[in-house]
Amino acid sequence: MEIPPLKLNRLSLYLRCLRSLEDDGVERISSLELAQRFHLSAAQIRKDLAQFGEFGIRGVGYEVGALIESLTRLLGLERFHPLIIVGMGNLGSALAASVGFNSGSFQVVAGVDNDPEKIGSRVADVLIEDARDMAAVVRRTEAEIGVLTVPAAAAQSNYDGLVDAGVRAVLNFAPTRLKLAPGVRSKDVDLRIDLEEMGYFLTRSKRPVR
């Protein structure tokens, strides 16, 4: 009973909303209030959260603390997930310095690049090491998730290197289709494709071009 990615992504979003409510001292919230406060769908919330053993009671709502605990456990966020960034260019460096990749159960513990001018320098707290030493760096840091921010032409060989070194998941930002290894979870994040989605809707939008 594996949860499909789109639903998982909504659960991540609910968890974030619930945490911000907890910070505000809110102890209970209904699906309707949750929906209104965060511009979500109440029906979708009820459907998504039903299978975790409905904590909600009509008119009373969800117990914020209990639901946070359940979602955290479900998403595997009570464990530490160290990250290695392969390709410390603009995007890799931005991610290495970002709060999202360095909070809660995630932390960038290593970065590698093949540019001699970058090797040995630091971005935020991350020392940039030689990409040729990737296997050793993964072993030493016990990096579990690889973040691939290299040009398309270098993506497959670096992906293969990460897999051989033992990482268990890869987030691929290179705009190319990888031949994936069995048993390693991978996800493509292609920001250009998100832009093209906007392009499609713009050609059909009724909002006048100024």
Interface residues with its own copies (CB under 8 A) are: 2-3, 5, 8-9, 12-13, 15-17, 38-40, 74-77, 79, 81, 83, 89-91, 93-95, 97-98, 100-101, 105-106, 139, 142, 144-145, 166, 168-169, 171, 175, 177-180, 183-185, 187, 189-207, 209-210
Q: How far is the CB of 87 from its own copies (least distance, A)?
A: 12
DSSP symbols for 5-27: HHHHHHHHHHHHHHHHHHHTT--
- Helix (H) / strand (E) element for 185: namely strand 185-188
Residue 144 and residue 120 in contact, taking contact as beta carbons nearer than 8 Å: no
Give 25 or 100: the residue with its C-beta nearer to its own copies.
100
Give 7 or 58: the residue with its C-beta nearer to its own copies.
7
Residue 173 and residue 191 in contact, taking contact as beta carbons nearer than 8 Å: yes
* DSSP classification of residue 189: -
Give 12 or 121: the residue with its C-beta nearer to its own copies.
12
Q: How far is the CB of 101 from its own copies (least distance, A)?
A: 7
The residues near 95 (Cβ < 8 Å, ≥ 6 apart) are: 85, 101, 108, 147, 149
Q: How far is the CB of 179 from its own copies (least distance, A)?
A: 5
Residue 28 and residue 60 in contact, taking contact as beta carbons nearer than 8 Å: yes
Give 119 or 167: the residue with its C-beta nearer to its own copies.
167
Give 58 or 204: the residue with its C-beta nearer to its own copies.
204
